[in-house]
Structure 1
Amino acid sequence: MKRFWRSIFFSAAIVLFLNTGCESSVGVFGYRCLDIELVDDKSLAQKSLPNVILIVTDDLGYNDFDLYSGGSITIGPGMQALINDGYVFNRAYVTSSVCAPSRAGLITGAHQNSFGFVSNITDKIRNSIPSSAYGLPTNQVTIANRIKPFGYKTGLIGKWHLGEHEMFHPLNFGFDHFFGFLNGKASYRNPFISMDNNPPAFYCDYITDLLTDATINFVNRNIDSPFFAYLSYSAPHTPHEAKSSAIGDAYSFILSNLDENISRLISHLKDVGAYDNTLIIFINDNGCPSNSGSCNNGIFKGSKATAYEGGIRIPFVMKPPKQLTNHENGIIEHAVSTLDIAPTICHLIGGCDDDGSLQGISLLKQIEPGFEQARTLYFNSAIIKGDYKFIKSIDELYDLSNDPMEASNLVGIYPNIADSLANEHIKWSARNPPKLW
């Protein structure tokens, strides 16, 4: 049996899009593992369209990085460059407090409840129903689908978590290249990684380093074309594993290593002349879990899988192409959503949203001086309208402008506001189809 698997892995290695080495390295379980060899960069050709890199971390705490006051890890030059050259959104939200639905809304630009992707893809789901029964509906249009007609090379590097059946593979949703894993988590050491449609193989590397190398390769291979790289890190999701040489606790190492890799990517973009012409967005997929024992959600109540701010409020940084940066105000205080990312990209390239299905507002509009628009944001069991937030499932009302910690339930003081928001959430829910699983 071991020979059989080794032969599969070796065959996959032959056709890998990336160059590989490590002829004698042995990974976990004794299987041969692969190294990734960086491809030489090329000179940057003149391109009329900007590149796009979307960096998504997994279960990062709001204050794990020192983007806001009181962060656990002091950020390095990469993240600092994004802040210096871009915008920090102090009040940014995902559309769901758990991984898969949040990512479905992000990559389509439409609220996932509008197409039934309500529930997370958990191990329980994976073990109880066929893989053909859960995943991103095949009629959904992703960011990659939208921008390919404009000449973009599209790549997903890292976590997908939108279905494991062949019909839900990222290559069927507009991505030219895939290097990562289809399920919800992966080992940090010698991870089991798929390349495009090839069988997965063990790679003899630390996963965050590996995914950064793969992204740098993708940039180098497509430097003469506009490209969209969706870099979906698995860090700092469990299992919390540091390198064997690491000193100190595993979670702190994972955060520091993640920050170093972001700096390495940003440094490479500058080296090859691509940084100024690249839109770079950094977000997390949801709040950090309460059972991790390590992460830092700052002042916010709640955690992953809750409707409190600690479950749905995320770190969010955007660095536009240089010619579009207006630094009259680099700190944005009003509410924004991950639903705003797809229309931002379409706005940037001058199209791709003709079908009217995108439900956000371009961030390029929102960073303009004087932008004012009260947002209504919907979640499974909550609604935010302006400064008020109502959590329908537990009948709690908060004024986030005065109480971001959600310490004082105002339902008894403002019952009319609570009732109005509850009715609005009921109407929104009624417009959505039944959940898919």
Structure 2
Amino acid sequence: MKRGAVVRTVFLVCATLSVGFLNVATCTGESANPPNILIVLADDQGWGDLSVHGNYNLSTPNIDRLAAEGALFERFYVSPLCAPTRAEFLTGRYHPRTGVRGVTTGAERMNLNEYTIAQAFRAVGYATAIFGKWHNGSQYPYHPLGRGFQEFYGFTSGHWGIYFDPPLESGSEIVRGRGYITDDFTDHAIDFIKRHQTEPFFCYVAYNTPHTPLQVPDKFYEKFAGAQIAQRYHGNEREDIEFTRAVLAMCENIDWNVGRLLEALRECGLESNTIVVYFSDNGPNSWRWNGGMRGRKGSTDEGGVRVPCIIRWPGHVPAGLRVSQIAAAIDLFPTLASLAGVSYKAPLPMDGIDLSPVLLGKQKFVARQRLIFAHQAGQISVRNDRFILDNRGRLYDLLEDPGQTHDVSAQFPDVAESLRKAVEQFKAEVLPKEPDTRPFPVGYREFPVTYLPARDGVPHGNIERSGKAPNCSFFTNWINREDSITWDIEVHTAGKYELVVYYTCRPQDVGVVLRASFAGRSVEGKITEPFDPPIHGHEFDRVPRQGESYVKDFKPFVLGVIELPAQRGLLELRAMNIPGERAIDLRLVKLTLKSGDDTSRP
């Protein structure tokens, strides 16, 4: 199916208006064929964080309407953490197969031989875009623009330090976001939908809320400030009510933005020809009401991996359908491709299955005896359509005991043994055997800009991160000449690179001389301008953050041009002269290929 084969019926003329820095398109009333795809992914939203699942602490009418007009999965599973789930959705494969082993310092990256759902849809003429949190690699070709997406606006890290007017990426450039981050991502997604309404599109809206920091506009928080929280966490762990209040406000903001997306589809006449998917990437990020399930984010128990999932396609997916077939994020790629009639040849076998017959109401189950695994840091659980074997080898009947309170291994020994063998097979076939030694790639002609954030660097000496969580941190406490920072990089294209450091420096420390070196080449420069903005972000926090860095602005400084050979090695940054008490704080290094020769790595 090529772009030219798409049937179009245009009712109005499309115009584009410029509003600030964002091009805002108007609707044509287009009804297109084949179907568009709109994916909305929440971050750290639990199964119980929606009113459609019985939580009356909050109201999520737009997401509830999606469920009323489409299919609601009763048992839908993801991974216990963010990056693994995103990789499973994108590839249809369990995350250890894809190279994703964690959530930061490079462990979140998908191997470059993985084939993504965006590549499959782009190959047949779909316009593809992602707005929001990527979290599967920052440097090209791990970058979303190297994985099948034509447009990217958001951030590539695992979490972000500020949600109001934040620094973001637009394509390969650092820009300033406008307003609240979830609203901003929605603005850009709506603009994309309107600009591409006369052709099929694949739009991935990857929100980063209600992940911490707990920041949300007043108009959503006012309802919950000091409010009684009637439905509470059922377990022995302590629920932080202030945390819960902030999360509920953030979830209502997500719902409001989902409503804006749905209204944009309606205005453009695209409702009936757009498949909308809504799901979350793991269980709740705190102890709060979650339907009595055991576990939370990070756990392989039900509460950590069972999340909302809704799919609407009017006229095709029956309204009000309740899917009892167990399903998972790995199923979305083959299922959506089948629904849209998109054929593809994935180079690697998928773990997910095509659930389109269930969604189209043709059959109740596709694979009655299937198993779904959840993995986190060596802990594995496995479930079938009735039982779960948890990571400690205990068996629970989820139909009778969804809270996992009574071990039934003695009652069903054959089931327990069968599932134990399945776990051993999963370990042997899926879990990686070797340590992750992948470098960070630099210097592709088709994507000449490479960012090396503090997250991916290694501090030496006194230098330390600004927070325990590396994702949105910066390097600080650089106090003597023996201190250094290194990045393990592999240069793809030999050539001349402009090297820029994003720094802060107090007035009394001006005069710091920095040297960057790689494979015997080096470049030096002196910091001559002070730039010492205050730490901020805390002024928006509804609950004080723990372990995550606060943020500040950083100033770009062109250190110079360095000749880099096409090889692997350590890029090292040192301070050759520190006239004051300390050198600089560092957020990232930017390398831009200015001119390259033909000695590129394969």
Q: Fold conserved (TM > 0.5)? A: yes
| Alignment of 1:192 onto 2:174 | no
Mark the CA change 1:435 to 1:262 in structure 2 (over 3 Å): closer, same or farther: farther
Pairwise CA distance, 1:18: 10
Whole-angstrom CA distance in 1 between matches of 2:402 and 2:108? 35
Q: 1:49 aligns with which of 27, 34, 42?
A: 34
Question: What is the alpha-carbon distance in structure 1 between the residues aligned to residue 434 and residue 37 of structure 2?
Answer: 32
SS at match of 1:288: coil
How does 1:21-60 map onto structure 2 within 5 Å?
A: 21=20, 37=22, 39-60=24-45
Per the alignment, residue 386 of structure 1 pairs with 385
Q: Which amino acid aligns with 1:318?
A: I
Equivalent position of 1:156 in the other structure:
130
Letter of the 2:42 counterpart? T
User: Per-residue displacement from partner, 1:27-63 (whole Å, max 9, x unpaired)?
Assistant: xxxxxxxxx5451313144532110001000000211
Please show how residues 103-118 of structure 1 align to structure 2 within 5 Å: 103-117=86-100
Deviation at 1:116, TM superposition (A): 3.4
Gaps of 5+ in 2: 1-15, 226-244, 437-602
Q: Structure 2 vs 1, CA of residues 318 and 362 (structure 1 numbering), >3 Å: closer, same or farther? A: same
Distance 1:436-1:72 versus aligned 2 partners, 3 A rule? farther
For residue 306 of structure 2, the aligned residue among 313, 318, 325 is 313
Matched, 1:350 2:324: no
* 1:362 correspondence with 2:347: no
In structure 2, the CA distance between the partners of 1:333 and 1:435, relative to structure 1 (3 Å rule), is: farther
| Pairs within 5 Å for 1:271-420 | 271-290=267-286, 295-320=288-313, 322-327=314-319, 330-355=321-346, 357-367=349-359, 368-372=361-365, 373-374=367-368, 375-380=370-375, 381-391=380-390, 393-420=391-418
Distance 1:73 1:226 in 2: 35
Aligned to 2:524: none
Q: After TM superposition, what 4+ stretches of structure 1 lie above 4 angstroms from structure 2? A: 17-20
1:69 Cα shift? 1.9
Contact 1:116 1:436 in 2 (8 A): no
Corresponding residue number in structure 1 for 2:453 = none
Post-superposition offset of 1:244: 5.0
1:120 to 97, 102, 109: 102
Counterpart residue identity of residue 261, structure 2: L
The match for 1:261 is 257
User: Is the alpha carbon distance of 1:143 and 1:409 closer, same or farther for their aligned partners in structure 2, counting shifts above 3 Å?
Assistant: same
Task: Give the drift of 1:416.
Answer: 3.0
Query: How far off its partner does 1:251 sit?
Result: 2.6
- Picking from 237, 247, 252, the partner of 2:211 is 237
After the TM superposition, which of the residue ranges 66-75 and 225-234 deviates more from structure 2?
66-75
CA distance in 1, matches of 2:130, 2:40: 10
CA contact (8 A) 1:287 1:311 kept: yes
Query: How big is each residue's C-alpha offset from its partner over 1:184-214, in whole Å with a ceiling of 9 and x where there is no partner?
Result: 112221222100111x222230011101101
Aligned match for 2:157, one of 162, 179, 183: 183
Gaps of 5+ in 1: 1-16, 22-35
Q: Quick one: which amino acid aligns to residue 284 of structure 2?
A: C
> Once the 2 structures are TM-superposed, how far is the Cα of residue 20 of structure 1 from its aligned partner?
6.1
Q: Distance in 2 between matches of 1:143 and 1:416?
A: 38
How far off its partner does 1:71 sit?
4.4
Question: 1:30: which partner in 2?
Answer: none
Asked if the contact 2:24–2:191 (Cα under 8 Å) also holds between the matched residues in 1, the reply is yes
Whether 1:92 aligns to 2:76 is yes
Q: CA deviation at 1:366?
A: 1.7
- Match of 2:209, SS state, is coil
Write the distance in 1 (CA, Å) between the matches of 2:434 and 2:395: 26
Query: 2:38 aligned with 1:64, yes or no?
Result: no
Percent of matched pairs sharing the same residue: 29
Per-residue CA deviation, residues 315-341 of structure 1 (Å, 9 max, x unaligned), is 111102x231334x6112221111111
Contact 1:57 1:236 (C-alpha < 8 Å) held by counterparts: yes
Name the structure with the higher strand share. 2
Q: Match for residue 28 of structure 1?
A: none
TM-score (norm 1): 0.84
CA shift, 1:242, in A, is: 2.0
Aligned residue pair count: 389
Instruction: Find the aligned partners of 2:336 and 2:189 in 1 and give their Cα distance.
Output: 19
Instruction: Report the Cα distance in structure 2 between the residues aligned to 1:436 and 1:216, rounded to whole angstroms.
Output: 42
1:423 aligns to 2:431 (yes or no): no
Measure how far apart 1:219 and its partner are: 0.4
Instruction: Say which is worse superposed, 399-408 or 106-115, in terms of deviation.
Output: 106-115
**Match of residue 565 from structure 2:** none
Q: Structure 1 or 2: larger helix share?
A: 1
Task: Say whether 1:209 aligns with 2:183.
Answer: yes
